[in-house]
Amino acid sequence: MSVQYEVSLVTGDFPKAGTIDRIFVTLVGSRGNSEKVRVGLAWMVDKIRKGSVRTIKIQCGNDLGEILLVRLYKDKHTLLPEDSWHCQYVTVKAPNQKVYNFPCYSWLEDENTLDIIEGTARRKAEYRSTVLEQHWVDELQRRQKAYQWSTYAPGIPRCIKAESSDDLPKDAQFTLDRKVHIAFNIDSALLDLGLNPLKLLNSVWNNVGEFRRYLDFTKVPVAAHVMKHWKEDTFFGYQYLNGSNPQLIRRCRTIPAKFPVTDEMVSTLLGPNTTLQQELQKGKIFLVDYELLDGIPAHSISGDQQYLEAPMCLLYVNPQDELIPIAIQIKQKPGPQNPIFLPSDSKYDWRLAKIWARHADTQIHQLVSHLLKTHLFAEIFCVATLRMLPNAHPIFKLLMPHLKYTLDINTAARKLLISDGGVFDQAFSTGGSAKLQILQRALEQTTYSSLCLPEDLASRNVEHLPRYYYRDDALKIWSAINRFVDSIVNVYYQDDGSVQEDSEIQAWAMEIFTEGFLARESSGFPTVFHTKADLTKYLTMVIFTCSGRHAAVNTGQYDWGSWIPNSPSTMQKPPPSEKEKVGKLDIMRTLPGKKETALVVATVYLLSKTSPTSTKLGMYVEERFTEAAPKACIEKFQQDLLQITHEIKKRNQALDLKYEYLQPDLIENSVAI
């Protein structure tokens, strides 16, 4: 007896997602396959439009049993150019009215076939069908061919093999609307900002007023605040808490021998009736140490030697709960040629010492906190996920939305920012080989624990630092992600044994350890998951890295980095070796020149842009999970995030300078800019 299946195909809703090519469908069931049926009209060019839903009926001589796969084919027209098609979703209604869901979210290119597995999440051991087992093998083989590891430089995480965006599989590329919006074009950014006249000027700034005339911060309140307050000590301290690089500060328990600050030096700042020792014991003294930069040779820009040092800054939480700097030493090795600068020194000595600290912070922020610890780590997770987990795996479904577009943005970053002759080489003291040395050192020092937020805060001993909004908001985000991941893991793993038996997830962890963290055991990165708790913590770390951690260091780049005296990309003069030798003009001659300033401002402007098509944390526009249980977990996660948004907005109402970078409705779901 003939039976009929109703098949609906949803096309992606963005430019160029539709096709004029011919699409065909076959249903693969547990009891046989259907005929291959054309979608649309057979005798003419029938365009499948973006965002459309096409429904066809497929007649079969007998019941196909459970529908396991939908097989899609694309043929191009003989005389017309190839036209790729983005299939978003397919549903199949069986004769018994049962509806099967097939999330796809893939491009079909050239004259190819694509098998989509039914949407129920499952691990390999749960396939129980030779058809599906073969599908598993084919899918991973295809992915491992399409997504290959490459070594960009020794000692840094391996990355995707692609020279440019066009080398990436189309599924990993930005959709056209996003590509157009983001387009990394420094020249157009310079024009937008009115900085074009500066790009050919090799001269230095004579005074900051000259620079101020080029910048319009009327629509950028944080940048306007930076411009107004950058010389103030309270503002300088505040940046370590809530600026664009808020993860470095740690409590100081004893003054390091290499930074011999004495009680006498700081006693006027600490006030009467206390000592440095007492304040250390009370937990009021903090340290930021840029040791990682020590000994890295600075780059030359256009033949001019630049300067790079590794300062240390001691900070104090005063009785008004303000964090203020109380001593800065510009180089690591103490000695008479390396004075400890103090707020009581001359105005210009102290200002220049702070600028040296800000310069070091700018390098660490861009190369370590931002590039390495969010972009490159997210790329490791992305490539490993694509290579080791098939579409049906629950952890693939969980993670893929948090890994979207990362390969494309990183490929662009490698090409334009850190390439030979790129922005770093043109405007940063850490251009040339310095940037790679810094990335290598930073990777060597990265531990699993340091990426797990609660452990990082505990090791830095900053749980009680006042007005540390980054910490407060990040902990809320971490906890919400953790509860969400825990709920998903509970749906798919009955006990610890089921985690241990999941060969796919174990292979995934090993791939990350080997390719990303270069098999360095001292990193503490797990190579195996023994328990559900192990897996939950790890997945929380992955999603937090790709969302909250990135937002905290990415979103404020233009806010904090466009007023160049506050975030100098390079230093053109060496640091003073004695006090009372520098004046205002020395500071201007040390800061980046006009050309470098223009380039850096244009770059941070581009890197801070949010796309109108961006997806915010917890918004799963791709419905990869089809069952009710994970959908309920997602809904709860979204409610949690909404609550956090309300709390942050409420807190911010009382603040002069709002901290919004970790407001969930402003956090991107993945590293995509």
Q: For Fe ion, which stretch binds (CB under 5 A), given 16-24, 154-162, 478-486, 551-559?
A: 551-559
In terms of CB distance, is 249 or 673 closer to Fe ion?
673
614 touching Fe ion, by CB under 5 A: no
Name the nearest CA neighbour of 444 among 368, 506, 509: 368
CA torsion angle 383 388 390 391 (round to 10): -30
Report how far residue 177's alpha carbon sits from residue 15's, in angstroms, rounded to the nearest whole number.
Answer: 7
| Cβ atoms 118, 71 nearer than 8 A | no
Q: For Fe ion, which stretch binds (CB under 5 A), given 98-106, 389-397, 553-561, 658-666?
A: 553-561
Query: How many residues line the site for Fe ion (CB under 5 A)?
Result: 1
Report how far residue 584's alpha carbon sits from residue 346's, in angstroms, rounded to the nearest whole number.
Answer: 11
Q: For Fe ion, which stretch binds (CB under 5 A), given 23-31, 483-491, 549-557, 622-630?
A: 549-557
Q: For Fe ion, which stretch binds (CB under 5 A), given 57-65, 211-219, 226-234, 550-558?
A: 550-558
In terms of CB distance, is 91 or 663 closer to Fe ion?
663
C-beta of 287: minimal distance to Fe ion in Å?
27
Among 554, 566, 608, 626, binds Fe ion (CB under 5 A): 554
CA 20 to each of CA 25, 89, 105, 644: distance values in angstroms, whole numbers, following the listed order:
16, 18, 19, 45
In terms of CB distance, is 405 or 525 closer to Fe ion?
405
Q: For Fe ion, which stretch binds (CB under 5 A), given 239-247, 275-283, 547-555, 633-641?
A: 547-555
| Cβ atoms 5, 95 nearer than 8 A | yes
545 touching Fe ion, by CB under 5 A: no
Helix-, strand-, coil-residue percentages of the chain, each rounded to 5: 45, 15, 40
Q: Which amino acid is at 174?
A: F
In terms of CB distance, is 410 or 536 closer to Fe ion?
410
In terms of CB distance, is 502 or 668 closer to Fe ion?
668
| Cβ atoms 60, 31 nearer than 8 A | no
C-beta of 330: minimal distance to Fe ion in Å?
29
Give the position of tokens 């017309």: 80
In terms of CB distance, is 157 or 565 closer to Fe ion?
157
CB half-sphere exposure, 662, CA atoms < 13 A: 30
Q: For Fe ion, which stretch binds (CB under 5 A), given 57-65, 535-543, 554-562, 582-590?
A: 554-562
362 touching Fe ion, by CB under 5 A: no
- Taking phi first (over 0 means left), then psi (-120 to 50 degrees means alpha), and beta for anything else, what does residue 155 get? left
Residue nearest to Fe ion (CB): 554
| Cβ atoms 671, 378 nearer than 8 A | yes
26 touching Fe ion, by CB under 5 A: no
Report how far residue 181's alpha carbon sits from residue 271's, in angstroms, rounded to the nearest whole number.
Answer: 53
At 110, give phi and psi (nearest 5°). Answer: 50, -135
C-beta of 191: minimal distance to Fe ion in Å?
23
555 touching Fe ion, by CB under 5 A: no
In terms of CB distance, is 329 or 554 closer to Fe ion?
554
C-beta of 557: minimal distance to Fe ion in Å?
8
C-beta of 482: minimal distance to Fe ion in Å?
23
411 touching Fe ion, by CB under 5 A: no
Instruction: Name the site residues for Fe ion (rule: CB under 5 A).
Output: 554
